[in-house]
Amino acid sequence: MDVLLTALADPSRWRLVELLAERPRPVGVLAQLAGARQPQTTKHLQVLERAGVVVSERVGQRRINALRPAALRELAAELSRLAETAEQAGGPGMTHDRYGVSLRTERHAATEPGWADGRSFKFHRRLAGRPELVWRHLTEPSLLSHWWTPNDLQVCELVFEARPGGRILQTYRDAEDTDGHAAIVGRAEGTVDEVHPHERLTYRLSPLLPDGGPAFTAHVDLTCRPIGPGTDLDIRWTITNSAIDSADFVAGIELGFGQSLDTLAAVLTANTHDNVSTDPTTGSTK
């Protein structure tokens, strides 16, 4: 595929492909139609032949060049596959597009300090596991680090002191930074306000702008309620102290935190499934 793409990338060779798509032609005619010298046209045809997109055959006194449609169909199929992957419902490409729409809206609205004050976002998830287990994932740094970022980021430093007045610190890098050498792309700092174990947690969290100042203050209120064998988690974000430059952060709250909660739900489901064992004598779970 690389050889084919390299061959087709040259405008002169692409012109020859267009001409051969109409009908097989000898090199002399191709050179005239392309407005090129015959030796150079011959070299281009040789490159296209090595790439498998052109074949040549001697017919009488002439060597006729013809297009191999199969090579182009293979390329078209690969390009179509890439396009379908990018457009996959709920995939990163569509998420990026949704964020772009939100970003343009929020940047247009961010005209003065306090522009987003009072904005609120509500989230709800029904989670596997009792409130005691969910609470641990909401407050213990070693468990928080597995879910508390959007899909394209990873936690590289996390402090969460689950007590009134406790400190919160979160820094993160790109999710595909496997060696930890890329620059930190985000940092947030905050304070825990209320702690009612297994029931309610409130805290304030401020993502930081590149100059180190707070983009805004998010007042986050989480409540846990037992529901059957699981837990209903309700979260409300309320924004205060929004800076003009906070639009990029505000635009990502609904999508980004929603992704984080989806990851939390998946983690808890896997955790609950792993903790269910089967009695080999009865086939029942315990």
Domains 2-81 and 113-272 share a fold: no
Half-sphere exposure of residue 44, counting CA atoms within 13 Å on the CB side? Answer: 22
Instruction: Report helix, strand or coil for 35.
Output: coil
**Is CATH 1.10.10.10 what the domain over 2-81 is classified as, yes or no?**
yes
Residue 232's pLDDT is 98
Residue 182's pLDDT is 67
Domain boundaries, the chain: 2-81, 113-272
Confidence band, pLDDT 50/70/90 cuts, at residue 180: low
Residue 58's pLDDT is 86
Residue 54's pLDDT is 95
How far is Cα 208 from Cα 227, in angstroms, rounded to an integer?
Answer: 37
How far is Cα 144 from Cα 138, in angstroms, rounded to an integer?
Answer: 6
Query: Beta partners for 170?
Result: 158, 188
Structure confidence by residue, pLDDT tens digits, 21-79: 999 999 999 999 999 999 999 999 999 999 999 999 988 778 899 999 999 999 999 99
The answer to whether the CB of 270 falls within 8 A of the CB of 261 is no
Instruction: Please state, in angstroms and as integers, the Cα–Cα distance from residue 61 to each residue in 38, 40, 197, following that order.
Output: 17, 21, 91
The total of other beta-carbon atoms located within 10 Å of residue 42's CB is 17
Residue 82's pLDDT is 87
Which is nearest to 184 in space by CA: 159, 155, 211, 205? 155
Could you tell me the CATH superfamily of domain 113-272? Answer: START domain (3.30.530.20)
Structure confidence by residue, pLDDT tens digits, 80-126: 998 888 777 666 667 777 888 899 999 999 999 999 999 999 999 99
Half-sphere exposure of residue 152, counting CA atoms within 13 Å on the CB side? Answer: 11
How far is Cα 104 from Cα 140, in angstroms, rounded to an integer?
Answer: 36
Residue 111 CB partners (closer than 8 Å, separation 6+): 244
Confidence band, pLDDT 50/70/90 cuts, at residue 284: very low
Structure confidence by residue, pLDDT tens digits, 240-269: 999 999 999 999 999 999 999 999 999 999
How far is Cα 209 from Cα 186, in angstroms, rounded to an integer?
Answer: 8
Residue 271 per-residue DSSP state? H
Residue 13's pLDDT is 96
Query: Beta partners for 32?
Result: none
Place of tokens 């040259």: 10
